[in-house]
Structure 1
């Protein structure tokens, strides 16, 4: 059986954190990915000879990148999201409610061959079977009014 070296283990940790970031939307795992990958590089170069130094380096690098760059990265992502005009073509279209939309929550509508999460624009409950008009979008939730 092949044993992994510490740099290889840190590389795996970094890559797993990168995959976790791609799956999540919290913008935290990327900084641990950076910590793992930089620690792998420093360990491979012999700069961090022991596991204790590597753990301290991983923790320090991860926390510093998180503290220094998260706010900037989040703002950059929000700016990009703001420029996207996804689902704008849905506005004014008619859909069918397939699960009741309560006044203070979300239900489901059927539109373009798919189920969508929907909330009531004016906070009036809308019963399943009703036709609605899409007013706007908030992410992937459609805001609707009964037609």
Structure 2
């Protein structure tokens, strides 16, 4: 037991390094929080505090890290921009009507550099060529569009 009291800070440092290294295997951030607790135990050992205080420091910092730090870090790691692929990325974009669009005769729009078949999202509308529209939905190869209101000055 005397050896531990003389080399306590080294034991805590070794435990912290091992826990941090083991974290790389799973990346749940639990072992990393325990490693922070081990560093706190090492700091208390360097001051010369008894082993009981070192263990309390380890436990306190570990619990605090698990309860306060880990949830926000995990949330930040798991969140990110929603990646949209394929035609779903075109929803919400603006297009130019190149051929009149109505419920009876589907027209055409230039959307993202390509010409698409288009139908009005509101089946009672007729949209004339030259108007700007917004894509509300895409079904198959048809873009369902709605005119963008113009500000008259």
TM-score by length of 2: 0.47
Q: Indicate the structure (1 or 2) with the bigger Cα radius of gyration.
A: 2
TM-score by length of 1: 0.49
